[in-house]
């Protein structure tokens, strides 16, 4: 690092405006920040700990709203931030305040954390937001760190697992590792812990091909939670779109993320990031000034008609203005950075409908989606939309174009209702089994466009779906008002844990049935981390603020009877040819053929029978035997098999779910079970 006993001097001959952020160029660092309405931008250099501000250096050049300058001899490890000057006119959307140190939106690594103090606000707390606060916020702010992006990837190539073969495991870096008995204690809660052999081996055994991580971008531990002795566990409160969340790093260095990704790739497992580009952690106009608000509030955020106020379609106080070309560039730069430099394999976009909001509302051909579709780097990776937000017209399940896949909450709700034995569910469960064609069979999209799940981070775990009839969120400190009430759950006779063996058996049966529905349906199967072993959150269906044993996986309590069923189901899905994008039916026959338990085709009257809970589906994979899937959400029953000999491959009513029995004629069905057979 350069000796900073004297002020460094910018070298105009090497300065570049085309590379945003702090880019180490080999012998010095180029600094560039976009602010269209600023009048001056000061680069602030700090000591190694980020405590002492050594110099304030006005960036000497500006082109197209990009302020930039090159400093020779500024090396990786240099700590920095910005102070941005301009009009403080909240009524016009401008909230510049150079007393507030601002984090570079492109910072790759952070030093320090947010220390909540009133000085972090651009206005004076206790007065309205038109006031102007003159206190220095630097002592309470994390700072950016100049990094060297070089890393030895061992000439690895992207896995590019086909969608039809993909099995997703939604996980939390800390939640998976914090209570794992075989992860060293000093690595628990970190990327190094996540990439240890015990965790990777477990994922391989249950057939996972991709781990989808809840937000790992640096995020704020919101002040209102800290003041209640709670914390932002899930991380949907982004502070930086480039830097990883520092507590997930044992040394604080980003190479730990790269090391973890390299280990997952060597194990054949892709890494998908849950990303939050719809809003930031700065909240509404009454929120704090940490980065974007102070850099250029009117550019980075959507504002209401009265520009003093934020326009909020996310429920968080603000909405990122992705329609702005330079904000869109920041998002695209972030995505490409994580793919090209960090080697991740895809993204799940939180509240993706917000990203498609244009002047007339949600646009499936909006600038964000079109930018990704034409991008040679991003169009070829895994892209998953959470297809809704809370704004008008925000629910858009099935409304996205290729190459996006989408979380399918209709699959979740209909599968829960079917297995809860609600009446009249045969028609909807049939749709879910064949990939939800009503939603996704358009715009040249394949059957793998639906991401099928029954539980995710938001809501009950799968085990809690069969253990609690009501939510139990008292630990969140909101008197049980938070979290939704549409859980479609059933405790099967006892609220919460029980010693009743009959209830426990019923819960395992139903969980296995729902898991089998996920893995035997067309689309991309996704399970929540811990659902493969009966993990519970004590009935909390909104554990966003529970960074404790409520949310951390209980590995010691893992249930082998569920885990082994998942392993059997993923193996069958792969080996049977079920995991395909297209199927062929016999000449003159539809691709999917539906059977009544009496052995013949379903009639209109059968589909209208609200109490019928057994259904058979026959599919013909390419170059593989016919597959017959039978779901039974009712009591013990029978199913008259189509003519010929069949091999029983899966039976969730058996202790050993995987089997290879030759059967024909009438097949006995266990209560609340799924069987899968192939033509012998």
List, by residue number, the catalytic residues: 350, 386
Give the span between the Cα atoms of 242 and 338, in whole angstroms. 8
Residue with tokens 């899966």: 650
Close Cβ partners of 499 (under 8 Å, ≥ 6 residues apart): none
Return the SS3 of 521: coil
Which of 332, 321, 317, 323 lies closest to 295, judged by CA?
321
Considering only CA atoms, which of 597, 585, 665 is closest in space to residue 626? Answer: 585
Give residue for tokens 């009438």. Answer: 666
Alpha-carbon span 273 to 235, nearest angstrom: 12
DSSP states of 397-441: TT-PPTTEEEEEHHHHHHHHHHHTT-SS-HHHHHHHHTT-HHHHS
What CA dihedral angle connects 471, 476, 479 and 481, to 10 degrees? -60
Residue 518 contacts residue 446 (beta carbons within 8 Å): no
How far apart are the C-alpha atoms of 387 and 400, rounded to whole Å? 8
Q: How many CA atoms lie within 13 A of 480 on its CB side?
A: 6
215 touches 238 (CB < 8 A): yes
**HSE, side-chain direction, 13 A CA sphere, residue 97:** 31
Taking 3-state DSSP, the helix, strand and coil percentages for the chain, each rounded to the nearest 5, stand at 25, 20, 55
Q: Which two tokens stand for residue 356?
A: 């498609």
Whole-angstrom Cα distance, residue 352 to residue 394? 9
d(Cα 248, Cα 506) in Å, to the nearest integer? 38
219 and 237 Cβ atoms separated by less than 8 Å: yes
Q: Are 297 and 95 in contact (CB under 8 A)?
A: yes
Closest CA to 331 of 303, 292, 362, 359: 292
């Amino acid at each position: 690092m350069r000796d900073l006993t004297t002020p460094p001097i910018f070298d105009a001959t090497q300065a570049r405006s085309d590379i945003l952020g702090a880019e180490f160029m080999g012998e010095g660092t180029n600094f560039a920040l976009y602010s269209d309405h600023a009048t001056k931008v000061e680069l602030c250099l700090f000591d190694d700990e980020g405590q002492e501000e050594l110099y304030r250096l006005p960036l000497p050049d500006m082109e197209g709203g990009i302020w930039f300058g090159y400093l020779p001899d500024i090396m990786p490890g240099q700590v920095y931030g910005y102070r941005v000057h301009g009009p403080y006119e909240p009524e016009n959307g401008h909230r510049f305040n150079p007393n507030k140190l601002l984090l570079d939106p492109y910072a790759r690594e952070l030093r320090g954390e947010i220390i909540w103090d009133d000085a972090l606000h651009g206005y004076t707390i206790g007065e309205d937001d038109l006031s102007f606060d003159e206190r220095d916020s630097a002592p309470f702010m994390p700072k950016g760190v100049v990094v060297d992006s070089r890393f030895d990837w061992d000439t690895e190539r992207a896995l590019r697992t086909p969608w039809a073969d993909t099995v997703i495991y939604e996980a939390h870096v800390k939640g998976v590792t914090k209570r794992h008995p075989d992860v060293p204690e000093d690595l628990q809660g970190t990327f190094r812990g996540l990439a240890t052999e015990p965790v990777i081996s477990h994922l391989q055994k249950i057939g996972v091909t991709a781990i989808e991580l809840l937000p790992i971008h640096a995020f704020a531990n919101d002040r209102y939670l800290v003041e209640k002795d709670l914390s932002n566990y899930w991380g949907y409160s982004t502070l930086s779109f480039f830097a990883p969340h520092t507590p997930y790093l044992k040394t604080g260095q980003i190479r730990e993320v790269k090391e973890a990704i390299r280990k997952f790739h060597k194990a054949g497992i892709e890494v998908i990031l849950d990303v939050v580009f719809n809003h930031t952690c700065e909240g509404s106009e009454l929120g704090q000034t940490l980065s974007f608000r102070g850099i250029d509030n009117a550019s980075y955020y959507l504002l209401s008609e009265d520009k003093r106020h934020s326009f909020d379609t996310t429920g968080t106080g603000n909405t990122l203005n992705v329609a702005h070309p330079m904000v869109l560039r920041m998002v695209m730069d972030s995505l490409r950075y994580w793919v090209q430099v960090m080697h991740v394999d895809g993204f799940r976009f939180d509240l993706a409908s917000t990203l498609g909001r244009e002047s007339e509302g949600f646009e499936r051909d909006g600038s964000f989606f079109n930018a990704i579709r034409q991008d040679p780097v991003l169009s070829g990776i895994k892209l998953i939309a959470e297809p809704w937000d809370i704004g008008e017209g925000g629910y858009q399940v099935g409304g996205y174009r290729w190459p996006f896949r989408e979380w399918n909450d209709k699959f979740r709700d209909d599968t829960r209702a079917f297995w809860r034995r609600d009446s009249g569910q045969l028609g909807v469960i049939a749709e879910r089994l064949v990939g939800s064609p009503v939603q996704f069979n358009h715009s040249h999209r394949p059957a793998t466009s639906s991401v099928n799940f029954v539980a995710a981070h938001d809501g009950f775990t799968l085990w809690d779906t069969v253990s609690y009839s009501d939510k139990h969120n008292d630990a969140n400190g909101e008197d049980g008002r938070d979290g939704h009430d549409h859980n479609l759950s059933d405790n099967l006779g006892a609220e919460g844990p029980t010693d009743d063996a009959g209830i426990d058996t019923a819960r395992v049966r139903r969980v296995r049935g729902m898991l089998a529905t996920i893995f035997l349906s067309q689309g991309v199967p996704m399970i929540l981390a811990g659902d493969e072993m009966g993990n519970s959150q004590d009935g909390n269906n909104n554990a966003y603020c529970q960074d404790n044993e409520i949310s951390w996986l209980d590995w010691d309590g893992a249930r082998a009877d569920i885990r082994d069923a998942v392993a059997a189901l993923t193996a069958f899905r792969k080996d049977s040819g079920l995991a395909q994008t297209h199927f062929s039916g016999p000449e003159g026959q539809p691709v999917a053929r539906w059977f009544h338990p009496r052995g013949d085709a379903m009639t209109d009257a059968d589909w209208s029978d609200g109490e019928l809970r057994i259904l058979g589906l026959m599919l013909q994979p390419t170059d593989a035997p016919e597959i017959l899937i039978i779901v039974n959400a009712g009591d013990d029953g029978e199913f008259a098999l189509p003519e010929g000999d069949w091999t029983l491959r899966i039976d969730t009513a058996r202790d050993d779910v995987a089997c290879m029995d030759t059967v024909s004629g009438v097949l006995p069905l266990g209560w609340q079970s799924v069987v899968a057979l192939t033509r012998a």
